Homo-oligomer: A and B are copies of this chain.
């Protein structure tokens, strides 16, 4: 196994080469000059092998998922990414090939998202591979999207499709067995989230509240409602489902409560509802109205006939 200094020199320094703020990883810290008029957005997520990803997931995709879940947090605030720091606690069993693939995954995503490695730390662990990533982004001052801004009457929209990632995990666990093409699609949705960065930035000045769906639609919508001090009606039959997921058992549970989709959930004032279709076309991204913000508190889930299928007190009733 490459020692720490060799690993940094051979694998990590190239990832920092294009980013002046990284100081070639020569120093103990990165040195950034935020653009004038911009606020800095900073987020940090951790992942543990066997908990947040499967031990035999492809290393490049583990790296990319780690990076992308953080970029998704930036997207939810309407920020553009700037760079990231990585902490990697690695068990001795990790081979150089594994680490090379891991770093190759980072390199590809750096190119895709136009960011670079700024710094971090590499340590050894007797436990499972444990990763932590800090992503930095920027957003024009005063324009960051928050969870707390939803207002009564706002329409609730969600990007993409819901439940795919949770179903992808079930596929990997052998609990669901769809046809081959659906299988590949769902697994990729689990392993390789698409941070909705362009959407988040486009929602500045348009959405009053936004969040990325990492814990599941119900939980994350709950965060918007709680911080905004409002309730909501959710239209269960409007939840966007992919062709791969649509006919699988448990798809509605997955769409409502499954995590890891990393789509954006956002509230738009009703009078600007009409701007959403053009935005969806421009971004080539499905944007679906799935409910609306109501006065009061709590979440009502209704079916196509307007019948309530969940009471806040009784908890979620399975379909």
Chain A residues at the B interface, C-beta cutoff of 8 Å: 23, 26-34, 36, 39-48, 50-52, 73-74, 76-77, 79, 85-89, 118-128, 130, 132, 134, 136-137, 139, 141, 144, 146-148, 211-212, 223, 227
Contacts and interface: CB of A to CB of B under 8 A. Distances in A.
B212 A51 contact: no
Nearest to A47: B123
A48 B48 CA distance: 13
Give the interface SS of chain A, mostly helix, strand, loop or mixed.
strand
A123 B52 contact: yes
| Max chain B Cβ within 10 angstroms of own Cβ: one of A52, A122, A130 | A130
Contacts of A73: 28-29
A32 B40 contact: yes
Contacts of A51: 123-126
Contacts of A146: 23, 26-27
A45 B87 contact: yes
Nearest to A130: B130
21 contacts: A27-B76, A29-B137, A31-B39, A31-B41, A31-B77, A32-B40, A33-B40, A40-B40, A42-B118, A42-B136, A44-B86, A44-B120, A44-B134, A45-B121, A48-B123, A48-B124, A48-B130, A51-B124, A85-B134, A121-B132, A126-B128
Contacts of A130: 48, 89, 125, 127, 130
B89 A46 contact: yes
Given A43-B119, A48-B130, A134-B134, 12 more contacts: A26-B148, A26-B223, A28-B77, A30-B43, A31-B77, A33-B40, A40-B40, A46-B122, A47-B123, A51-B126, A87-B87, A127-B127
A45 B29 CA distance: 10
B128 A127 contact: yes
A30 B26 contact: no
Given A124-B48, A126-B51, A127-B126, A134 B27 contact: no
A48 B134 contact: no
A28 B43 contact: yes
A34 B31 contact: no
A30 B45 CA distance: 12
A21 to B, nearest CB: 8
A30 B41 contact: yes
A31 B27 CA distance: 25
A265 to B, nearest CB: 12
